[in-house]
Amino acid sequence: MVRRPQQRRTPGSPAPAGRNHGPLRTAKRPPRRTRTSLVWSALRISTVVLAACTLVWVASTDDQRRRLLVQFGLANSLAQAELTELTLVGPGFRIPLLPALPSAEQGIAARPGGPVRRERQPHRTPEQEPTGGRGSLEGLGRRIGHGGDPCVIGVARNPSRSSEPRPVHRYLDDRGDVVFSDRAPSDAPSELVSVRSGVGVGRFSADYDMDGFTPPLGFRRQLEVDLDGVFHFLADDLRLVGMQPVHLRLRVIDGRARFARLASSKGLQTDSGFYTHRDNLAVVRWMGDTRTRAVARHEIAHLALGNWLGRTPLWLNEGLAEVVETMRFQQNFAIAEAPARRLERLRRLQRAGRLPGLEAFLASTRKQWLGWGNDIAYPYAWSLVHFLLQEPSRQHTVSNLLNALAEHRCRPFDHIGFLNRDYVGGLAGLERDWRRWLDAEAAPLQF
């Protein structure tokens, strides 16, 4: 018998007819994604994400990069991001990614009488000498220029100023719209009205200069509302007595280089804002609507306090300016926020024992502030003032202190002894109540 050799059947080929070979079995195919392919996919995705982040970083300004640090949780606040320096370091190379902001000092101004003049390149005067401070040449900070002693100029001589009324013609154009012009139309009847320029609202008058740009619609009006709110808060809400009106100049400059040149001419190194003694001038760099107005409020608060009080205790001067910076002004009221991140950071500092004692802080100098660091000194000052203003009874202490400082303008005055006498429980009670407030009672202010 001859046996036929059996044919080897490949998997999946049809079985010969007449035979029942049972169910067909197919060989297992290899998985579509092995571990190696998954790793390569992850690397490709990471590369794309890294490239996108790099493009965003390169295309952003330094201010935008600092906001990114805050948004991604790499910094607790914009103030902390401003102190951050990022550098890419590798074998044989060192690439700066984000420089720490330069420092400068900040000044309180008194404006002598007389007409407003163009800026000149002055020699550095004693009140323009760097004294340290927030963003000082010796320390870190928020780049707001700090100045010296407002009493160098002497007593305040800043009467509120109003220009003479100027004629303005009001008429209807061809479309029926109301038009105001300093020229009368030749082919339509007009009504002559008078408009004052440079008029303050009771407590102050101001000249505004938008230098190098046209501000967004409504910015100038909101800036006027802010300044009016600052003076109303300081003079009326805090019940200052007998304060003279102040005339000031506010200049907003577009362009970092142009702003830096003007600051340098004043002996300062800052890139957001400063103010000077000689002509009650506050200068702010354009940084967008919200940030520009906040820095302007801070500057104007210092100008008002310097004119009215002369030498103001550091914690009170900076604390009030910080409160004003957080304010939102509306028609009949103002709200000063109590930022949650700032409060939480203060609580952590307190638990870690890093906050100086109250009496030492109240008596501190700018040099001591630099020793503690701006991330401690400024939030501490803000919290003390915010705490004192949150309850009517404590507001009374602030008002009494401000009026006493005004009465002793540019003369020695023991403000710590005054607080110890005026606050119920003295300094020990003040510190105890402040710590209790920080733990559980902090809330926004409303005036």
Report all structural domains of the chain as residue ranges with CATH numbers, in order of start.
48-98 (no CATH), 126-159+200-446 (1.10.390), 166-195 (no CATH)
**CA atoms of 138 and 130, how far apart (whole Å):** 9
Give the three-state DSSP class for 62: helix
The yes-or-no verdict on residue 156 having pLDDT over 70 is no
Structure tokens at 329: 């002004």
Per-residue model confidence as pLDDT tens digits over 388-447: 999 998 999 999 999 999 999 888 999 999 999 999 999 999 999 999 999 888 888 888
Per-residue model confidence as pLDDT tens digits over 113-131: 333 333 333 333 333 333 3
Cα dist from 116 to 6, 48, 243, 272, whole Å: 113, 57, 22, 23
Residues 6+ apart with CB under 8 A from 131: 105, 146, 147, 148, 366
Mean pLDDT of 144-148: 53
Indicate the range of 90-94, 148-152, 212-216, 414-418 predicted with least confidence. 90-94
Residue 317's pLDDT band, with cuts at 50, 70 and 90, is very high
> Of all residues in the chain, what percent carry a pLDDT higher than 90?
27
Structure tokens at 429: 């009670």
**CA atoms of 237 and 325, how far apart (whole Å):** 16
Other Cβ atoms closer than 10 A to 122 = 12
The yes-or-no verdict on residue 197 having pLDDT over 60 is no
DSSP label at 3? P
Residue 87's pLDDT band, with cuts at 50, 70 and 90, is confident
**CA atoms of 419 and 426, how far apart (whole Å):** 7
* Residue of 216, 295, 296 lying closest to 250 (CA atoms): 296
Indicate the range of 25-39, 260-274, 303-317, 406-420 predicted with least confidence. 25-39
**CA atoms of 102 and 292, how far apart (whole Å):** 18
Cα dist from 86 to 81, 219, 356, whole Å: 10, 34, 30
Structure tokens at 125: 């005067």
The yes-or-no verdict on residue 91 having pLDDT over 50 is yes
The pTM score is: 0.60
